[in-house]
Structure 1
């Protein structure tokens, strides 16, 4: 995490805002498409994937 923080610190405030906005939008899309559980912080939970089309098992 320190490496990410050190890279993030090199961004201008405008770049930080843009970057965070993109991350939040990407997270919202993942939640909308049931790829990421709204309360989860990880992507690896198969029990959150109830739609077979999202798991690749049709």
Structure 2
């Protein structure tokens, strides 16, 4: 069994929703650490980065 997951999403909330769905646990039962904030590229065209979180079960 995995000890943690690293999940990407367009937003932090989207990544958290993916973690909740994958582990079938409520958000309150997860320890969430933001590894990367989402970032728009120059003029929203290039270099867009997704949010990255690490999630562990409490």
Is the TM-score greater than 0.5? no
State the structure with bigger RCO (CA 8 A, min sep 6), 1 or 2: 2
Higher strand share: 2
> What is the TM-score normalised by the length of structure 2?
0.27
Q: Which has the larger radius of gyration?
A: 1
> What is the TM-score normalised by the length of structure 1?
0.27
Higher helix share: 1
